[in-house]
Structure 1
Amino acid sequence: MSESAAITLGLAAMEAKTNADLLLASLRAVLPFAESRAEGMDCCADENEGVAMAFPESEEAARTAASARAAADKAIAAVDAAKALLASLDG
């Protein structure tokens, strides 16, 4: 391998590591906000489910509750996945 090819590969590796470090730093920075937002969505889903139980004849309340629960569950799963990713990369 020529010296210039080795330098090019070295620079590419440094750039990839820098990009990975920036990505991880960004993920760590937004994770607390995402976790807080997911918790808020979970509370809203609980409230919507309470309304749906209070008004069992309301199909709209049931749809809203189901939609809110699905969104909250996705947000919680995304936060859990981000935490697992960070833990696997840190450990």
Structure 2
Amino acid sequence: MRRLERKLFALSDEIAGLQETLRQVTAELQVLEHLQDDAIRDAAIGGPIDREDARETTRDVERFRRLADDLRIRIARLEANRTDLLTRLDSKKPDI
């Protein structure tokens, strides 16, 4: 197997791993958004502890949104690299 092909396989494996991580982060984000909604409602009628809980939950939601965005950007870059490698590999094929 040539170096280009090995690199392509490694890149595809990395993309698959990041997509799985993104799936997990997105699932966790959905849970956190539900918790945030509940915490904000509790803070509206509760005391200072409820308001602090709402702030912490909001920070968690923001952190997970940034993480999901960063993962999407990284996946897009790797997919662009994979497309480039596929193009290079295709151009090196001998015509039969």
TM > 0.5 fold call:
yes
The Cα shift of 1:21 comes to 4.1
Question: What is the RMSD of the two structures over their aligned residues, measured on CA atoms?
Answer: 2.2
Q: Which has the higher mean CA deviation after the structures are superposed, 66-75 or 22-31? A: 22-31
1:60 equivalent in alignment to 2:49: yes
The Cα shift of 1:34 comes to 1.4
The TM-score normalised by the length of structure 1 is 0.70
Please list every run of 5 or more consecutive structure 1 residues that lacks an aligned counterpart in the other structure: 1-9
The Cα shift of 1:19 comes to 5.0
Kindly indicate whether the alpha-carbon contact (under 8 Å) linking 1:42 and 1:73 is maintained by their aligned counterparts in 2. Answer: no
* Cα deviation digits, residues 33-76 of structure 1 (max 9, x gap): 21111121112112101110122xx1100111100110111011
Change (3 A) 1:20 1:89: closer
1:70 equivalent in alignment to 2:68: no
The TM-score normalised by the length of structure 2 is 0.66
Kindly indicate whether the alpha-carbon contact (under 8 Å) linking 1:39 and 1:76 is maintained by their aligned counterparts in 2. Answer: no
How far apart, in 2, do the equivalents of 1:29 and 1:60 lie? 35
Q: Percent identity?
A: 13
Runs of 4+ in 1 over 3 A off after TM superposition: 17-22
Mapping of residues 1-91 of structure 1, within 5 Å: 17=7, 19-55=10-46, 58-91=47-80
